[in-house]
Structure 1
Amino acid sequence: MQNVVMRRHEIPTRALQIGIFLSLLLFGYSNLYKPLPAWQSEALVVVIAQDSTLTYEEFSKQLAQKFAAYLAVPLKIILVPANQVEATMLSRHAHLSASGFSLAEKNPALLFGPGYLTLREQVAYNQYQPAPRNTSGLLGKRIAVVAGSNQEKALITLKEQLPALNWESRKNQTVEDLLGEVSKGALDYTIADHEQIAQMLNFHPNLAVAFNIGKPSQLAWAFPANADNELIAANERFFASIEKNGELNKLLDHYFGHNDRLAPLDAAEFMKQLDTTLPRYQSLFEEVGKVVNEDWRLIAAIAYQESHWDPLATSFTNVRGMMMLTEATADEMKVANRLNPRDSTLGGAKYLRQIKEQLPDSIQEPARTWMALAAYNQGMGHLEDARVLTQRQKADKDAWTDVKKWMPSLNNPLYFEKLKHGYARGGEAVIFVENIRAYYDMLTRLDSHNDSEKQPRHAYQLVSTRDKPAFSLSGLRKAEVGSHNKQAAVDYSLVR
């Protein structure tokens, strides 16, 4: 009987506990999805980037950082799957989307900023399988695209002309995933833009393009139709500014300029060497990287471009070793044996560091590294001639995007006869640099999958919804805008 009485007393207590719990849960839920206030009042611009590891997404994040710096506000980036981007904006949880929407899209719920990148959506297939000759060849095939992506929107438009067209709409997958499935034969086709395909060809050389879907379209940032007019106007001024001063072109070149540099056979051979040869020398590249304070993956990329990681490589001009050093460079760097892998790699890396230190302070990274590599290949004097020629053409002598356009002209007497150091094979230097950029990009991508601790820190808060909801109850770190300048001092936190 006493136990019964005690239990009766426990009932209202338990009910009270449940009530408190539900109230807290409701409070948390309401705060979880509480729309953001105006960007000025929180000093926070929230930009959405699609959850993918493709270069385009990194480009979007970098562009968003520049916009936040332009506004002098901290930045928070929420990563959501493509099919949630629009809904997240329209539910007022984000001020804008930095994931490119096609300007050709007809959507009364959205406003678009200036176009900044023209892309072509293409049908990707496995070249060991029959290629579709036209859109009718897509019927009855296993096709998958990322749900809510520009690629799916292109198929929706095509279906108006081809009602029998069907495809799988994949959630929580990326274009990169689907291109991998096509490469392995798990899918017949997928749709991707030409930059995505060019990049993934380096990892899957058996991919090929059948034809374009629709017309080329420009990408633009998207805003809710009722977005703040001041933010939209600032965005237009921002894009006008970075287009005029060349920053947009530099950013596009940094992320996309080398995507299609490698031929499929070169990329396939590199991928093979990653498994067979790199393990023997990776510790050496890491050691040398620490000595010269350089990313070991860049050292490895240079060595592969020079010798395909062959320490005994020798050219007909007697350039030898892992880093293919000349006798003069080896003597200058005190390399006793050019055929010794460590001596050659360390000598080449020190030589690159010496060149970088000699470059004018006006050349900033990453252009500083690409310029140093061009000088590594053709000599400092010829690099300086290329910079002088670039300046004569009213272009930026400190920007690799401009210098690489004019460096090939060093073999043209119309130009080199008016330059201090004369003739040079400037085109070879450009190919040398761009190949290294491609190999370095591949090494960075593959290595980043294996070691999350090597991921760079960013000047923004990053929230990913790959494995959890985007909007968490954990509070943001307060970021204060400095009163002495226009740059925002931003705390960084990563939520995964």
Structure 2
Amino acid sequence: MLHLSKRLRAALTVLLALATLLCPAELLPRLGDGLDSIRQRDFLQVATRNGPITFYQGGHGPTGFEYELVRRFAHSLGVSLAVKNDSRIMDVLDDVRRGTADLGAAALTLDQSRSGLRYSQPILTLQPLVVYRRGLPPVRTLDDLLNLRIGVIAGSGSAAALRAQQQNLPGLGWREADDLAIADLLEMVERDDLDAAVIYTHQFKLNRLFFPNVERGFALGKPLTLVWAFSASQPLALQQAANRFIAEQRSSGDLDELIGRYFGHDDYLEYVGARLFIRHVRNRLPRFVPYFKEAARDTGFDWRLLAALGYQESHWRPDATSPTGVRGLMMLTRPTADEIGIDNRLDPRQSVDGGARYLLHVRDRLDASIPEPDRTWMALAAYNVGLGHLFDARTIAAQRGGDPDRWIDVREALPLLQQREWYSQANHGYARGGEPVIYVRNVRRYYEILKYVNRSQQQFDQLGQRTLDSDTMTPLEIVTPLM
């Protein structure tokens, strides 16, 4: 049997993907002939659409919730993945119907009125959500939508939700286009080209920090079901395999983990904090990114984690000084600076270098039994409260029947260092143990935001460069009221 190298196999996958993009659909082989044909060609062809729920190019290559899930599915079949990124939902569905894609994964919702398609079992619940521009009167009910300029992506479940509500409110009208991205809609609301839009709650979670003038309105209609689409004219084998895979992902907890990774951070920051953070990401952070990346190369930390730590410490102010004498972008004490050889704490490059090396020093002193990422979270806590108090908290966690190597248990123990019952028997005495818990939570939130910003940078760079006017923006088709 011929075995291809990983490099050659990857190259073939790219060539196959390019062929799918460049060849006319009628010249492509029928792809949906069952699992045998997929395994023979050695790749799963998926039609998708660019978006935060589905598929986009991040800082380290393709990513997205559905992309990650369908990649796992392809792996379970023992084949590679080829992705065709369509511009419209209807293009995705047409690819599936024609058999030029094995399945469609593009934030599709269960819709039995679509002909020629079958669907997988439910993957995720999608709730259509009305969002509107901050400063308008609150939009809380369906009646509040009358006379507003509302935008939606044509062919989406959100558009279907609007059509369903139009039966109850005939005066409801809106504007739609089929090749808009979610960021386009939100930017149009932000810039007063629209008053409101209907998207999914998950999409708002992923994008709201970048559009602080867009406000959450109300849930529109019943929740919808995210599914994968298959051709009704093809054998059931692939659909059945997908259903087994989804069920296994759900029962193992892997699906919940993936959902949490992409959508589980809606409570990042309250509005003012979110707006301030994003402004500082744009205006302050770029100056210091080279220092964070240099320190990351020297210490092995993700530069975005170091940047998140720096924001928590000083809001990226190199001249920050506290009443207790800690100074600089990473807020180093004089003894710490002396210990790691930093002579000017107000020099941002030295401060970042010193803070990163001190964090590494703290992490290296933790027990080797602590796995990642718990080890890093505990190192951050010790950066804030001191290693001695962290060791005490680990002891208390064990005494209470928890695992001292797990951050979730140590996190519960740290606040107990404020109670006499516990700190009186601790080696290092009293500590304001609730503070490092909040500290680590904040750093992790900033870190998650920075990771999202980084992997979506191309999307937002393009968004920032585009002028939203009639010459460059896709025209919105007006859906008129029924009365």
The answer to whether residue 467 in structure 2 is matched with residue 437 in structure 1 is no
CA contact (8 A) 1:323 1:344 kept: yes
CA separation of 1:29/1:177 partners in 2, compared to 1, >3 Å: closer, same or farther?
closer
What is the match of residue 72 of structure 2? 66
Q: Name the CA distance, whole Å, in 1 between partners of 2:375 and 2:93.
A: 39
2:45 matched residue in structure 1 = 46
**1:239 paired residue among 223, 238, 246:** 246
The corresponding residue for 2:199 is: 192
After TM superposition, give the deviation of residue 206 of structure 1 in Å: 1.3
Displacement after TM superposition at 1:228 (Å): 3.9
Name 1:92's counterpart in structure 2.
Answer: 99
Greater Cα offset, 427-436 or 385-394: 385-394
CA contact 1:386–1:407 (8 Å) conserved in 2:
no
Equivalence for 2:352 = 345
What's the CA shift for 1:82? Answer: 2.4
Greater Cα shift, 126-135 or 293-302 = 293-302
- Please give the per-residue CA displacement for 1:323-362, whole angstroms capped at 9, x wherever unaligned: 1234564454333333332222012222344556667588
Deviation sequence 1:141-180 (CA, Å, 0-9, x none): 2221112222112112222323332222212211111011
Q: What residue in structure 2 maps to residue 121 of structure 1?
A: 128
Contact (CA 8 Å) 1:371, 1:383: kept in 2 or not? no
The corresponding residue for 1:407 is 411
Unmatched segments (≥5 aa) in structure 2: 1-21, 57-63, 463-483
Q: Which amino acid aligns with 2:43?
A: L
Match of 2:295 in 1: 288
Structure 1 equivalent of residue 60 of structure 2: none
Distance of aligned partners of 1:241 and 1:391 in 2 relative to their CA distance in 1, 3 Å threshold: farther
In the other structure, the counterpart of 1:267 is 274
2:5 aligned residue: none
SS at match of 1:201: helix
Distance 2:272 2:216 in 1: 16
Residue from 172, 175, 186 that aligns with 1:179: 186
Residue deviations 1:265-314, cap 9 Å, x none?
Answer: 12222233244433433333333333334444443232122211112223
- Which residue of the partner structure matches residue 201 of structure 1? 208
Aligned residue for 1:309, secondary structure, equals coil
C-alpha separation between the residues in 1 aligned to 2:264 and 2:288?
28
Does 2:30 align with 1:35? yes
Indicate conservation of the 8 Å contact 1:409/1:427, yes or no: no
Does residue 79 of the first structure (1) align with residue 85 of the second (2)? yes
Tell me if structure 1 keeps the 8 A contact 2:291–2:353.
no
User: How is 1:237-386 mapped onto 2 (pairs within 5 angstroms)?
Assistant: 237-327=244-334, 329-354=336-361, 363=371, 373-374=380-381, 376-377=383-384, 382=390
Q: 1:120 to 1:394 in 2, by over 3 A?
A: farther
The answer as to whether partners of 1:388 and 1:397 remain within 8 angstroms in 2 is no
Secondary structure of the residue aligned to 2:209 is coil
What is the alpha-carbon root mean square deviation over aligned residues?
Answer: 3.9
Give the Cα separation in 1 of the matches to 2:394 and 2:233: 49
What is the rounded CA distance, in whole Å, between the counterparts of 1:118 and 1:368 in structure 2?
34
Q: How far apart in 2 are the matches of 1:168 and 1:63?
A: 32
Distance 2:367 2:48 in 1: 36
Q: Which runs of 4+ in 1 moved over 6 A?
A: 390-398, 418-423
Bigger CA radius of gyration: 1
Q: Does residue 169 in structure 1 map to residue 193 in structure 2? A: no
Distance 1:129 1:445, change over 3 A: farther
> Where does structure 1 lack aligned partners over 5 or more consecutive residues?
1-26, 453-496
CA distance in 2 between partners of 1:337 and 1:68 (Å) = 53
- SS of corresponding position for 1:350: helix
Query: What residue in structure 1 maps to residue 163 of structure 2?
Result: 156
How many residues are treated as equivalent by the alignment? Answer: 420
CA separation of 1:302 and 1:65: change in aligned 2, threshold 3 A: same
Q: Distance in 2 between matches of 1:163 and 1:86?
A: 29
TM-score by length of 2: 0.74
Distance in 2 (alpha carbons) for counterparts of 1:405 and 1:104: 44
CA distance in 2: counterparts of 1:347 and 1:174, whole angstroms: 42
TM-score, structure 1 length as denominator?
0.72
Contact 1:258-1:437 at 8 Å conserved across structures: no
**Contact 2:149–2:174 (CA under 8 A) maintained in structure 1:** yes
Which secondary structure does the structure 2 equivalent of 1:93 belong to? coil
